[in-house]
Amino acid sequence: MLRQIFSGSFSFYDVVAYLVAVLLIIFLILPFHEWAHAFVAYLLGDKEAKSRGRLTLNPISHIDIVGALAMIFVGFGWAKPVPINPNNFKKPKLGMALCALAGPVANLLAAYVGLIIYYILDRAFPSFFYLNDMINSFFVFYASCNVSLAVFNFIPIPPLDGSKILFAFLPYKAIAFMTKYETIFSLALIFLIFTGGLSTVLGFATNGIFNFLSNMALSPVRFFAELF
């Protein structure tokens, strides 16, 4: 992202819109992502996150400084992991998978709501939106960042959420192996990110899901616009 900003491919308004969107994600959406993990764990019988003050939307309880900086400069960030004890679930593997799934789903929901708000405002104030590139850019950045975070977290590599979803379908020996070498998997993931090894796949998935959510958000707005 910094490369695009310093190369001049982003206008001043794009930069402002991007920073506002990213700050909103850091202080609102990342906490929402972690709260979703904690909430599902609580529903399934695990009180660990609640006892540690993580069943909250308060950003102070969730923000990780390094993850926040990565969100600003790289476009992928994280918050403090929510403590979950799978032994408190009736079905540990299924419980962990559902808790893990809640985070990316929270990001997709946030993107969808943002797109609905965008289309409603666009219909209500078309001339204002047409003239204000910064507002358009803000909603695009906000929604696309959320979709990117969801897609990124769906990667089935430890410690990402996708790995815990994958664990629901693996035998315990395979889970133990992946958990034992989690550090190596994490370093490999970081290497792939910074070398662009995942860019094509992640970009394709992000664009596809973004377009799908955009169409899903536009359809009800069009329907109600025709009624009124």
- The residues annotated with a catalytic role in the active site are 34
Give the sign of the dihedral formed by CA 149, CA 77, CA 196, CA 181. Answer: negative
At position 124, the amino acid (one-letter code) is A
Alpha carbon separation from 16 to 5, 110, 136, 138 (Å, rounded): 11, 20, 12, 8
Phi, psi of 215 (to 5 degrees): -65, -40
Tokens encoding 133: 């590139």
At position 139, the amino acid (one-letter code) is F
Rounded to the nearest 10 degrees, the angle between the axes of helix 12-24 and helix 65-73 is 150
CA distance 31 to 153: 15
CA distance 150 to 46: 24
Looking at the DSSP bridge assignments, the partners of residue 79 are 63
Tokens encoding 154: 């769906």
Peptide bond into 159 cis (omega under 30): yes
| Cβ proximity of 86 and 39 under 8 Å | no
